[in-house]
A and B are shown apart, each in its own frame.
Chain A
């Protein structure tokens, strides 16, 4: 069943302390890239290298999704020929990569971010404008974060 809970609802054990938004990096045009600058709010929560690695991977995946290559040509021609009815049955290249990205983010959340009290939100939910990182309150330490 589709769960329509917000991510926060899912996690009852911790409360949200803050959110960090990683903005898009437009230096190379409108292709989807996110800034890899390490936000200071996360300094005490996660390794910089780890974070940058995650973002770099995301950027690579988005670059792969938007790549103008053989697959996109084939898809375009096929779509034309079939009067775009092909979209009813076939998944586009971009959508395939988006699924891959969702899986990657899920995996990162499970393995790396959730144990540190962080949660990455898939940027597609925000219109590919920001990567939202939710910082949860670390109740065990008694401190806010």
Chain B
């Protein structure tokens, strides 16, 4: 019914309230006139005073309950519901303190009724915290006037008891004069009081229970919480306190008031892209995060031009992250930053660029990217973070602890790349939640240098990730070796080395994934990719070994690192030879390699992403795995950077199968580690070496690691031999992986 003057005057709806009012006022007046004088003189003046106060209280509450707006909602503007009317579902669910509550669309008021709100057909309005429509006060009882209604009931009960008692007293003292006027009137008053005593007391008791339970009459009679949990309760005392002591709620239906003039005149300011913060929450497959890209991709260009920072990594700027993402999404080639990592879903490996191009991408497949673009991909965030050499981004990624370390390790092809890759891998690992136990430690350690703060947070912090990302993007592709080196030293990788021990237990826990020699498909990334990654790593390592050690020397000196560094993703799975070349040529700092290698070992196992990354990643967990170990083997600094891929190859397949899309990746490193230990190394020395590396990195038996450094050199000759068994697998994006079989 419209609220306009068209409303008709309905006398019938006023009958109850009139009756109630009449009875109340009339009876009490009679009581005061006929009974109280005698009571005053027979007992004391306090009797009428007490009764007067109570009656006043009753009246006040009655008036408030009758005339106060219960909390009626004004009709919604047509703008608000223009999208809702035709397509909107009737109900909308909302979660209140963990419990699903249904909000119903009100066709009259044109909005979804808030929880506890109901539409009163008598008043023709939705009422907030609707209790019931009381005919005795001719008003809805809602949020604003429930207290007064409750107090009215309480006080009315008290008043009725009082009137009845004193009337009885009077009558008892005037039994001999029952026919007298005073007595008769008192008797009538007593009858009225007695008559309404039961319903009023009953209602009072009912509402006392409701108040104690924090329910409304509407909820009670419709059985909303029958057998269930009431999400609106605050506990018995809290509920009572809320009813009696809460501030008076405001009226919603107000007269239009003076509105201040606001001048809105174009041209309007626009947010500056670079200043935008990108909130990236790293989502792993299992983790939900949303990345808000508030900025456009334009900023990416800025990033691209930005040189890599040599200093402590990661500018904590969200916009960097953003830019990074933009880069990723914009599919720029070549540069680290431009890697289009962004498949929209983890499963969408469509961006699987060749390893060479985007190491990160490789390792973590779309999932990571996705996060960048929109909220979806856990991976994207990881990606971003992984990009940055700093592991700072990792924490953002959510995965941080788990996967990052591995990512970093395996990845270190470039500071940027590694990070992203590692991050990605980290994410994946995280999903698995297998490594989580380890990873956090690893990650934390990895992130230690500049990243450490970020990492340790371990939470998906927003946009800290951008820090690392920026560094990744900034320099673009070319990361100078020096930078890399510096990064490497500073990078999480260094610390990463430490974690391996932590990692290995985790790795050990994971059983090696089944090896799948089938061609790498990105959706099956796990096994095949890992295998190919491993292959690659081995190849690279082999080459590295062949090359002067100084180059990749680092303790980690993993070929993978080189790859990671040189070409952001490209390295990841270049033809087998590439790995090695990359590594060798890069001459990445040993530490970089080292850390990466350790990561790679693990990473390859599980991420299969960028070759470098993989290597490092896999190395971490995979101490035992030699395949990845070539890259990762070096868990420790000083270990020969190159592990011949030879002994990796057969780990690679193992590793590869292991690495499922993002999620799977995490287990890979562990698997690789396991595999390493488990399977007899193709190249015993290399194996040992690898194991050693892993061992050091992830806590594999230390004895293995001991052999590592020495074995590496020896491993080299072995690796070439292994090439013979290399099988080429083509993966998504045309990447070719060589897997030793």
**Chain B binds chain A:** yes
**What is the interface of chain A, defined by CB distance below 8 A to chain B?**
1-5, 7, 10-11, 13-14, 19, 21, 24, 26-30, 38, 43-49, 65-68, 71-73, 75-76, 80, 83-84, 87, 92-95, 98, 106, 109-110, 114-117, 119, 124-130, 132, 136-141
Inter-chain contact B271/A138, CB cutoff 8 Å:
no
Interface of chain B, helix or strand or loop or mixed?
loop
12 A-B pairs (CB sep. < 8 Å): A3-B258, A7-B262, A26-B94, A26-B115, A29-B232, A30-B116, A30-B129, A43-B294, A47-B275, A119-B264, A128-B252, A141-B267
A129 in contact with B292 (CB, 8 Å): no
Closest chain B residue, CB of each to CB of A82? B60
Among A1, A27, A98, which residue has the most Cβ atoms of chain B within 10 A? A27
- Complex contacts, B249 vs chain A, CB 8 Å: 94
Would A27 and B267 count as touching, CB distance under 8 A?
Answer: no
Determine whether the beta carbon of B64 is less than 8 Å from that of A140. Answer: no
The answer to whether B247 touches A29 (Cβ under 8 A) is no
Q: Are A110 and B262 in contact, CB atoms less than 8 angstroms apart?
A: yes
CB of B229 within 8 A of chain A? no
CB–CB B245/A73 < 8 A: yes
Q: B81-100: which residues lie under 8 A (CB-CB) from chain A?
A: 94-97
Those of B235-289 within 8 Å (CB) of chain A: 241-242, 244-250, 252, 254, 256-271, 275-277, 279
Which B residues are CB-close (under 8 A) to A129?
Answer: 73, 76, 111, 114
In the complex where A106-B260, A136-B264, A136-B266 touch, is A66 in contact with B247 (Cβ < 8 A)? yes
Cα A129 to Cα B77 with chains together (Å): 12
Contact A1 B258 (CB under 8 A): yes
B80 at the interface (CB under 8 A from A): yes
Known: A1-B258, A26-B114. 13 other contacts (CB 8 A): A11-B264, A13-B263, A48-B276, A48-B294, A72-B246, A80-B57, A92-B248, A93-B247, A94-B249, A116-B268, A124-B254, A127-B74, A127-B252
Point out the residues of chain B lying under 8 angstroms from A38, CB to CB. Answer: 292, 294
Given contacts A27-B97, A110-B262, contact A130 B250 (CB under 8 A): no
Q: Residues of B contacting A65 with CB < 8 Å? A: 247
Do B268 and A45 touch across chains, with their CB atoms under 8 A apart? yes
Which B residues touch A45, using CB under 8 A? Answer: 268, 270-271
- Asked whether B169 is an interface residue with its Cβ less than 8 Å from the other chain, the reply is no
B64 touches A47 (CB 8 A): no
The yes or no answer to B101 lying at the interface (CB within 8 A) is yes
- The complex places the Cα of A104 from the Cα of B264 at a distance, in Å, of 17
Output the nearest chain A residue to B64 by Cβ-Cβ distance.
A84
Complex contacts, A126 vs chain B, CB 8 Å: 74, 76-77, 80
The docked-state distance in angstroms from the alpha carbon of A48 to that of B76 is 27
Complex Cα distance, B233 from A29, in Å, reads 9
Identify the closest chain B residue to A46 (Cβ): B271
Q: Evaluate whether A138 and B74 lie within 8 angstroms (CB atoms) in the complex, with A65-B247, A95-B250 already known.
A: no
Is B95 a contact partner of A109 (Cβ separation < 8 A)? no
